[in-house]
Structure 1
């Protein structure tokens, strides 16, 4: 029996660096139905992970199945609602590709996410997506410290310093609303940490892209640094793209963020997130005031014998606790081995493909791509 078009699309999207697994509940099908009708799903099945022209995509349909003009119209409609990607090629015109659920489809629902889509997305996390997404060795995002003092014996790479990332970037810079916080608002579960909605920052080509889509506001370099400083004061966790030159920096809370909130449901969430740091508390200087416990987004601090201790299983080295410690009892230390992020998103996804499919599987994918076949 041939699976229905939505099950086929789920499996097609699952053949990417970021998984889109099948669940027992089937909620992933409901999720797809929020974004595609049957005709759109059948069109999305013809898309590759690599951007291709309308002509190339049209060649995958049977003769008379759909006109080129109608296909172009449907593809543009799917792009407009954030279900697929489109980039402009000076010679070939618009080039379309499939995109993962995250980072991709879900984030492109910013400013238009519905309650029903939000509910199904977070149910999908609980039913299997979080397990598949978080267990990958190479992550799409990493946690970096907020603007706090780090022991000088530990060298800090520019990729672990938000201000260094911004200074290094040629721009432009932009800010947009947090889609996770918007989703939780739709679900009538407002953020417990902050009232600020604009906490998702984009840099370079990502900023240009999101501004062109009309969902991001342009910022100067001074303005983006000022906004990130404000987010730090609110206790937000800084999560840029897991590359040496990130194109985004998300400022996240533990109650709304799809990544952090999902990780917290596992016994050892720190093992599932990428970081080079962890916090340590000197019990002699700790007064057990509870300020650090209040601001921690990962529930990584506990009270023990009149002082506070850090749960290494939960601490992701965000550094927020240092900002509120009046007695300077907390320090930020490097983990055993520093992880240097991939150079760029292309290298990051290459690593993810290699880890997921192995050498032979990756070579097979590369071979199909070289032949112009759908991957």
Structure 2
């Protein structure tokens, strides 16, 4: 690797990042960001790593070095939050997090002196808020979204709580987590460095991570602080009180994060405002309904809506009333929480929002939609084992026929075509009553 120039090292790293289903469009600003986060040596070595989780032994083989030296470098990368580690059946594995929610955010989830965070925040603002290619690719390149909104549970009427599914509750995610980490809000931290501080002065210490991500970030560099479930619920309560929107990973089982977001700083909510009516994240299964008889036209709901989905209009009698643009509404419930006369109620949407089961399901769906499934399949280092390949194919086999056909077309695989053919011949087993489709 000695013949590579510094720029080559960072360009190769950029190519490696873009093997993710979620990538990072190349630009001079991205090059500068990578220079802040990675040394030239780190860029060269990380560019060779697999997309999917790998062991110390695998890294040592790729880097052509000893396992002792490989583990030392891997530990160093974890300390910089450029890798996260996990344990599976006692075996330690590493993975490079995607750009977001991943290494871009981790760099600003605590204050640190080893990098210039003000300069980095300004670069992030340029890359995401000015150039915008990254944001458009992140939120609008696939039908399956990276994030989803959680409904604010305190808003829902008691007689409707039996209709809230477990995975729709942020409190349920907290209760199910083995580890919970609390860190600084990357968005508000970034915007403060860029000269655009939060307009509502929302709290910073409300960024929640879960399970292996939380443990790894806490053990390697204190990017998060491991907290109790009670402390996590307190973070949610403080976020509700500040009219923040809960946005988490778009999966039903074990999401890696829940962010508590303001409309002035969060990239997702900013994108919802700027690119309306396109929605950057999956909505909740709820929609606000406003009682025209009860509404007093005070306009508070319009002021607190994080994505400007509510406007005040005159009805036929000349009375001011609040009107919700249902095409762009996220169903977060902030408006209902702030209505002093209780004129706003949340009701279930007519059409159920389908949420991927887990991260693998989401990755595969997004890869199919983006036309990059081959990157997951043919990342030779990642899928050297039949077990890993089988797990991926199992996810594909559970997809709807249209998605299966797209996957087969992208791979042009005789093996996959044969699997799909055999799968179609099998009798369909009925799932539990009320179970959701994996589409």
Question: What's the TM-score bracket when you normalise by the shorter of the two chains?
Answer: 0.7 to 0.9
**Which of 274, 298, 323 does residue 289 from structure 1 map onto?**
298
Contact map agreement 2:188 2:266 (CA 8 A) in 1: yes
Aligned to 2:147: 141
**1:249 partner SS:** strand
- Structure 2 Cα separation of the partners of residues 255 and 222 of structure 1: 28
- Structure 2 Cα separation of the partners of residues 358 and 205 of structure 1: 26
TM-score w.r.t. the length of structure 1 is 0.86
Distance 1:221 1:73, change over 3 A: closer
Contact map agreement 1:281 1:309 (CA 8 A) in 2: yes
- Structure 2 Cα separation of the partners of residues 90 and 334 of structure 1: 41
Shift of 1:206: 3.5
Alignment of structure 1 residues 77-88 onto 2, 5 Å: 77-87=76-86
Alignment of structure 1 residues 127-276 onto 2, 5 Å: 127=131, 128-135=133-140, 136-146=142-152, 147-149=154-156, 152=160, 155-167=163-175, 169-213=176-220, 214-245=222-253, 246-269=255-278, 271-275=279-283, 276=285
Q: Is 1:314 aligned to 2:319, yes or no?
A: no
- Structure 2 Cα separation of the partners of residues 79 and 210 of structure 1: 8
**1:29 partner SS:** helix
Aligned to 2:119: 116
- Structure 2 Cα separation of the partners of residues 208 and 85 of structure 1: 9
Distance 1:320 1:89, change over 3 A: closer
**Which of 14, 21, 25 does residue 17 from structure 1 map onto?**
21
Contact map agreement 1:125 1:262 (CA 8 A) in 2: no
- Structure 2 Cα separation of the partners of residues 266 and 352 of structure 1: 20
Aligned to 1:99: 97
Contact map agreement 2:211 2:256 (CA 8 A) in 1: yes
- Structure 1 Cα separation of the partners of residues 160 and 54 of structure 2: 49
Gaps of 5+ in 2: 315-319, 390-439
Q: Is 1:343 aligned to 2:357, yes or no?
A: yes
Contact map agreement 1:354 1:362 (CA 8 A) in 2: no
Larger radius of gyration: 2
Shift of 1:356: 2.1
Contact map agreement 1:22 1:28 (CA 8 A) in 2: yes
Pick which of 323-332 and 258-267 moved more: 258-267
**1:46 partner SS:** coil
TM-score w.r.t. the length of structure 2 is 0.74
Aligned to 2:128: 125
Distance 1:82 1:226, change over 3 A: closer
- Structure 2 Cα separation of the partners of residues 329 and 255 of structure 1: 26
**Which of 307, 313, 325 does residue 339 from structure 2 map onto?**
325
- Structure 1 Cα separation of the partners of residues 381 and 211 of structure 2: 31
Shift of 1:366: 7.0
Alpha-carbon deviations, 1:85-115, whole Å to 9, x = none?
333567665x433321111102221113712
Pick which of 36-45 and 206-215 moved more: 206-215
